[in-house]
Amino acid sequence: MVSGKATAKGTARFATRRQAASAEPDAKPPVASHFRVTPGDGLTLSSIGLGTYLGSPDATTDRGYAECLRLALACGCNVVDTAINYRFQRSERAVGEALADLIKKKLVARDEVYVSTKGGYVPFDGRRPGDGEAWIEESYVRRGIARREDFVGTHCIAPAYLRDQIGCSRQNLGLDKIDLYYVHNPEGQRPIVGPKDFARKMHLAFEEMEAAVARGEIGSYGAATWNGFRQPPTAREHLSLAELVAIAKTVGGSKHHFRAVQAPLNVKMPELVRSKTQDVDGERLTLLEAAERLGIAVFASASIHQGRLAAGLDRNVKRYCTGLTSDAQRALQLVRSSAGLTTALVGMSKPDHARENLLLVSIPPLDAKAALPAFR
């Protein structure tokens, strides 16, 4: 396993080195405003990060993600995001193998790269089994890792289950410490178990996260969501960031390690910047405003809507991004320019697409106020 973790010193070194010269031939160095410093940990992270969700569970896609990780790091992007269930664990393994090779070749240091992953969904292994229920029973219930009633469909956030998943992710990634571990889409359980039981489950999950930090297995934790932060407080799947922070404080005190959230943001899903879904100290705020108030980093997923915005972007949106050559660049530029956002994640498994997206690192983000009208 590769030892170490992303550090304030290491990530700042990465930013300084890449601004001096890109490691990718013919690529321009990133501008200073491409990097942001996270609240709490003081890490210097790139405004664009590599996502690893989409793609077939095959060797060709594995190689694509490995090459895109190399390109991202060479061009000045030091954030990589994955999840144990992505491509039946193959995304984590592809990231781990590629990162170990780059570190071995001294092309990057472990303390310069920020790696996040997620647990909650049953990952299966390599492919979907013929009988998913039997696989869950054999893999988790009979082994005493979780009870059958702990699962809501194929989703589980019971403490022992999360402990098992963290261990599996560390093995897949080949890392003794994961920088950020998300509880994955917990909001899906809220309508099923009810608000009271859901709060209890999150309390137990956060206790396990703090224990994992104490064991040195993860550096921090958070919640990665799809619907939770985009919906109003009356919605059944609504998540309150203030309530999650309060649970973390109850579990870990003022020095808790709940550091980040992840949610979709793009011009077709603008709620993080447009919808006031969060109550903080009696004030209704957007998710990005609430996170800034509470000192929580925000990572945007689906920045180009899982490829749907790579072409055919509305011409009224295009006018906010002059000088760019593709709709994918324009869509990504708008997201990374949002006030309070740390990193815009974009799935990149094809090197040509990665090179196109990574041209943005040498271009300053837009003024956030000027870009906001694009999110209508």
CA–CA separation, 107 vs 92, rounded Å? 20
Domain-embedded: residue 253: yes
In the predicted structure, residue 53 carries a pLDDT above the cut 90:
yes
315 or 173, higher pLDDT:
173
Domain-embedded: residue 218: yes
Lowest mean pLDDT among 70-74, 103-107, 370-374: 370-374
Q: Are strands 283-285 and 278-280 parallel, antiparallel or unpaired?
A: antiparallel
In the predicted structure, residue 144 carries a pLDDT above the cut 90:
yes
In the predicted structure, residue 345 carries a pLDDT above the cut 90:
yes
In the predicted structure, residue 376 carries a pLDDT above the cut 90:
no
The continuous run of DSSP H or E covering 317 comes out as helix 315-318
End-to-end CA distance of the chain: 46
What pLDDT is attached to residue 30? Answer: 97
Tokens of 226: 């799809």
CA–CA separation, 56 vs 321, rounded Å? 32
What pLDDT is attached to residue 13? Answer: 98
What pLDDT is attached to residue 257? Answer: 98
In the predicted structure, residue 169 carries a pLDDT above the cut 90:
yes
Domain-embedded: residue 1: no
Task: List CB contacts of 345: < 8 A, sequence separation 6 or more.
Answer: 48, 49, 50, 51, 79, 81, 262, 299, 300, 301, 302, 303
What pLDDT is attached to residue 99? Answer: 98
Domain-embedded: residue 269: yes
Domain-embedded: residue 56: yes
What pLDDT is attached to residue 40? Answer: 87
What pLDDT is attached to residue 276? Answer: 98
- CATH number reported for the structural domain that contains residue 142 in this entry: 3.20.20.100
CA–CA separation, 224 vs 301, rounded Å? 9
pLDDT digits (tens, 9 = 90+) for 179-236: 999 999 999 999 999 999 999 999 999 999 999 999 999 999 999 999 999 999 999 9
Print the domain residue range for 241.
8-374
What pLDDT is attached to residue 353? Answer: 94
User: What share of the chain in percent tops pLDDT 90?
Assistant: 93
pLDDT digits (tens, 9 = 90+) for 295-308: 999 999 999 998 88
* Mean per-residue pLDDT, 348-356: 95
Domain-embedded: residue 3: no
Nearest in space to 113 (alpha carbons), one of 63, 67, 170, 180: 180
CA–CA separation, 167 vs 174, rounded Å? 10
In the predicted structure, residue 57 carries a pLDDT above the cut 90:
yes
- Residue pair 339/58 in contact by the 8 Å Cβ criterion: no
* Mean per-residue pLDDT, 350-359: 96
What pLDDT is attached to residue 79? Answer: 98
CA–CA separation, 58 vs 60, rounded Å? 6
* Mean pLDDT, all residues of the chain: 96
What pLDDT is attached to residue 58? Answer: 97
Q: Tokens 């410490």, residue?
A: 177
pLDDT digits (tens, 9 = 90+) for 252-268: 999 999 999 999 999 99
Identity of the residue numbered 127: R
Domains in the chain, number: 1
User: What share of the chain in percent tops pLDDT 70?
Assistant: 100
Question: For the chain, what percentages of helix, strand and coil (3-state, to nearest 5) are there?
Answer: 45, 15, 35
Domain-embedded: residue 279: yes
What pLDDT is attached to residue 306? Answer: 86
pLDDT digits (tens, 9 = 90+) for 90-136: 999 999 999 999 999 999 999 999 999 999 999 999 999 999 999 99
Domain-embedded: residue 337: yes
pLDDT digits (tens, 9 = 90+) for 308-338: 888 888 888 888 888 899 999 999 999 999 9
